[in-house]
Structure 1
Amino acid sequence: MSTYAVIDTGGQQLRVEPGRFYNIRHFGSSTPKGLKQNTKILIYRVLMIRQESNIKIGYPRLEGAIVKGRILHFYLEEKKTVYKMISKKKTRRKLGHRQKSTRFIVDSISLDGNDISL
């Protein structure tokens, strides 16, 4: 737990550690046609890396920092329901959708070609 990185992906910032899996939306092409299961991925948008007591912060990103991982699977999140009702007009409208998400696991974090996630 002493080594982690903060990455920017899918419109959000995540604190990732090696060996753990994460769920993200809008990952590259979020369709199974573009990326397959067990595809190796490299994330270059690394904002910060902490190793032991050393902290490196990028402005806005760290140069030479890479988070390596692989895709576990694609799935649909729970359905979000939106219900609109206009009183006194007898108008009701029920809509919903399921967001596409991707689950990936972080294998390692490297900085300037050196693997620091050991």
Structure 2
Amino acid sequence: MYAIVETGGKQYRVEEGAKITVEKLTADAGAEVALEKVLLVGEAAGLKVGAPYVSGAKVTCEVVEHMRGPKIVVFHKWRRNDSHKKTGHRQDLTTLKIKSIQA
């Protein structure tokens, strides 16, 4: 069984036992989180597609850790002005382990 969930403005395909990295969630490490925005659930019997979400579906996850992503360099150069701006960015991320999918 698999599901497609939405969190942090992005969509992820998840299966039981898998680990995914998502935008930072406000839960402590070791806590249990329920993702309610389930767009699709795939089973042996077929697909359940939501409009936009599948009613009554829920994906239960465990927060494994909080971390920061790789550094992204943002470089702006203005031509003919002999000027530029260089900044960096590291995104806060959360790693989740999928425990169960209820449809």
Normalised by the length of structure 1, the TM-score is: 0.81
Match of 1:115 in 2: none
Find the aligned partners of 2:84 and 2:52 in 1 and give their Cα distance.
46
The alignment partner of 1:88 has SS state of coil
1:31-52 Cα shifts (integer Å, max 9, x gaps): xxxx211110111111111111
Q: Distance in 2 between matches of 1:68 and 1:104?
A: 10
Runs of 4+ in 1 over 3 A off after TM superposition: none
Deviation at 1:23, TM superposition (A): 0.5
1:114 corresponds in structure 2 to: none
Question: What's 1:22 paired with?
Answer: 20
Shift of 1:89: 2.2
**8 Å contact from structure 1 (residues 17, 106) kept in 2:** yes
Alpha-carbon distance between aligned partners in 2 of 1:53 and 1:91, rounded to the nearest angstrom: 61
- Name structure 1 gaps, 5 residues minimum: 30-34, 112-118
For residues 1-118 of structure 1, the aligned pairs below 5 Å read: 3-27=1-25, 29=26, 35-111=27-103
Give the Cα separation in 2 of the matches to 1:92 and 1:101: 29
CA distance in 1, matches of 2:80, 2:56: 61
